[in-house]
A and B are shown apart, each in its own frame.
Chain A
Amino acid sequence: MYVYDEHDRKMAAERVAQFRDQTRRRLAGELAEEEYLPLRLQNGLYVQRHAPMLRICVPYGMLRSKQLRRLARVTRDYDKRFAHFTTRQNLQLNWPELEQVPDILEELAEVEMHANQTSGNCIRNTTTDQFAGVQSDEIADPRPYCELIRQWSTFHPEFAFLPRKFKVAVNASEKTDRAAIQVHDIGLQMVRNEAGELGFRVHVGGGLGRTPMVGPVIRNFLPELDLLTYLEAVLRVYNRYGRRDNKFKARIKILVKALTPEGFAEKVEAEWAHIKDSPTRLTPEAVEHIKGFFTEPAYEALENATDLLASQRFENREFDQWLAHNVDTHKKPGYAIVTLTLKQTGTPPGDVSDEQLDQIADLADEFSFGEARVTHHQNVVLADVRQDRLLELWQTIKPMGFATANLHTLNDIICCPGGDYCNLANAKSIPVAEAIQLRFDDMDYLYDLGEIDLNISGCMNACGHHHVGNIGVLGVDKKGDEFYQISLGGSSHHDAQIGKILGPSFAREEVPDVISNIVNVYVEQRTSEETFLDTYRRIGIKPFKERVYA
């Protein structure tokens, strides 16, 4: 994992001093609120329904145990002993005091953490696959490139006041996309060309929110070393020509659509031609230097524990199910990737207590070389667990609430904080998630339904990614009452697609019945091999509509 050198440390300390100064001037009346607003946003600080909200950056989702313990302490000392993991691999505090935020940032800086550019009209945290570096089908480890993008985008002097927020995601697996890159402003898919050289396929202009779009490809192959100059060209075109007259039309996707992807690509290529050989071009030495931080941990030479696991599974059906759902194949024999689910019914999806953060830190130290990862699905991953210790790990995490074996099922819900916390929300989302989880509490039935992405957002800003849920739930306001609109057929993977709206919205108490009806149509119509999405794609929305509005 990346470790700060004296340059990073200096900048982190200076950033805290800067924000302390800005906050002091705001409180002393020297800075008007409108002048302070973008400064605090770019330090992660929103003003929310009940209190400020602080979004702490977890660069591409990687956390060390020491950082987890510090986060636990911060939630204890400055907040209400819990925090919320977001779909962009970050962590949110819901109740910090404005005056104390500089102190929180100082505590974070001590463990090489920050809240830089987690909000505001700037380049946000670069996200990636939580299985980076430990899966066998990836083109290359995406994390060194994420770190290079982090450094390039941090305090970039030209791009601190973009028309709107800007999100970059990198994916390296050929088979899966766990980072939802096609619904990002820039999505980078690692690829190799015919000569075997490493590079990126570049998608630009994806995004959710008011105008959801899947990002078109504007370049099929960008050579590895050209990454940053090309990003700079895209950002410059956006900074100069993105709309600033209307907040709702200011994302890069609107510009890409207006110019057409081909027209936009031409503009980027023309800009890039000027800067592709500038000093910002990566060097092999620079890439090697960063790669040196993402070397393999000290794996032991092991065999797969196939027989041991088979007998343990035979003896314990619950362990068997957990293994089938929450554990993934590791590239190294004898190791496994474990997902700790934060989707226990009764707890808001993605929420963790201070105690749980400390527990994850201990688990990371005990089972996974001291590191953990946050996922886009708001869970936490221990990436390097020995297979012969899986049973022990499972027994340890069960009482902690991390072993709910519902990963990828209907109950592994992505959910924004919604109207319980967020100022922008039209409706609550957490109680809807809970009602659905309560309705589908029979695990065997859930497993039988197979993989279904169910995503809930409390408003059209789409923090819960409802557009790309196989089933999406969107909170809407109807004359002061909370209603929920359902969409079907969305996907955030390689086959990314925006879901279709089913029809008129429903009252909150109707939602579980509606979901049951939708699921029943699938169960009746599916062939033996089909997932929910497959069936939907084959039969279309009509049968679902007929059942739900019958």
Chain B
Amino acid sequence: MPEVITAEGALRQDDWVVVPRPEEGEALTLPDDKPALVPADLWLENEATFANRDDIGVWFDSHDEPEILEGKVNEVPLIAVNFPRFVDGRGYSIARLLRERFGFEGDLRAIGDVLLDQLQFMKRCGFSTFVLRADKDASEAARYLDFFSQTYQAAGDTDLPLFRRRAS
């Protein structure tokens, strides 16, 4: 069961299972009694059965295009974005597009190579929950989520860049 960090730094357990992309020719297998995150394109293929279910969400890999879910993001309760390596920064752009452009209102989760030192950037881009890489200690996460008390830019967390707040 993954330990989930909230945007406020609280820890909780939840049951969401990331369903890996099935091998070519294999069918998508969902867990029996747990909520599941499926690859976003496969969710679309099964939209008729998956849409608006509270136990089926989607996940994007860093090279995926979030545009495929435009107009439908709020038909899923949870979207996860995978960071295959923490230095792969594409997930930050995906998160901002999902939140700011496509208006996703549900839980946006960072998964994969998620480390403490990047938590605040992720939060700023609109992520609302985080699952750290398995070997990392989540107990200190709260401190890293809000290390900086000030920011220059508008992003997923702030409507106004500092230059507008200053000038007002």
Q: Which residues of A contact B (CB under 8 A)?
A: 5, 7, 10-11, 14-15, 17-18, 22, 31, 35, 38-39, 121, 148, 151-152, 154-162, 228, 236, 239-240, 244, 274, 278-280, 282-283, 285-286, 288-290
Q: Which residue of A lies closest to B66 (CB)?
A: A240
How far is B110's CA from A401's CA once the two chains are assembled, in angstroms?
Answer: 56
> Is there an interface contact between B92 and A161, defined as CB atoms closer than 8 Å?
yes
A233 to chain B, nearest CB (A): 11
Q: Which residue of B lies closest to A160 (CB)?
A: B121
Interface check B28, CB cutoff 8 A: no
Q: Which residue of A lies closest to B133 (CB)?
A: A35
B64 to chain A, nearest CB (A): 10
Q: Is the interface of A mostly helix, strand, loop or mixed?
A: helix
Of A10, A35, A121, the residue contacting B149 (CB under 8 A) is: A10
**Inter-chain pairs besides A148-B163, A282-B163, 12 sampled, C-beta below 8 Å:** A11-B152, A14-B148, A155-B148, A155-B151, A157-B120, A157-B156, A158-B92, A161-B86, A240-B90, A278-B100, A279-B161, A279-B164
How far is B166's CA from A285's CA once the two chains are assembled, in angstroms?
Answer: 9
Contacts of B92 in A (CB 8 A): 157-161, 239
B108 to chain A, nearest CB (A): 14
Instruction: Name 20 interchain pairs, CB-CB below 8 A, sorted by A.
Output: A7-B166, A11-B148, A15-B148, A39-B117, A152-B153, A155-B121, A157-B125, A158-B125, A158-B155, A160-B92, A160-B118, A228-B161, A244-B90, A279-B160, A279-B164, A283-B167, A286-B166, A289-B163, A289-B166, A290-B163
Contacts of A35 in B (CB 8 A): 86, 115, 117
Contacts of A286 in B (CB 8 A): 163-164, 166-167
Contacts of B162 in A (CB 8 A): 7, 151
Contacts of A283 in B (CB 8 A): 163-164, 167
Interface check B150, CB cutoff 8 A: yes
State whether A236 and B115 are in contact (beta carbons under 8 Å apart), knowing that A14-B150, A151-B162, A157-B124 are contacts in the complex: no
Q: Which residue of A lies closest to B90 (CB)?
A: A240
Q: Which residue of B lies closest to A284 (CB)?
A: B167
Contacts of B159 in A (CB 8 A): 279
> Is there an interface contact between A14 and B147, defined as CB atoms closer than 8 Å?
yes
Interface check B87, CB cutoff 8 A: yes
Contacts of B156 in A (CB 8 A): 157
Within 8 A of A (CB), among B125-168: 125, 147-156, 159-164, 166-167
Interface check B22, CB cutoff 8 A: no
Contacts of B89 in A (CB 8 A): 121, 158-162, 239
> Is there an interface contact between A10 and B150, defined as CB atoms closer than 8 Å?
yes
Contacts of A152 in B (CB 8 A): 152-153, 161
How far is B97's CA from A236's CA once the two chains are assembled, in angstroms?
Answer: 10
Contacts of B29 in A (CB 8 A): none
How far is B96's CA from A35's CA once the two chains are assembled, in angstroms?
Answer: 24
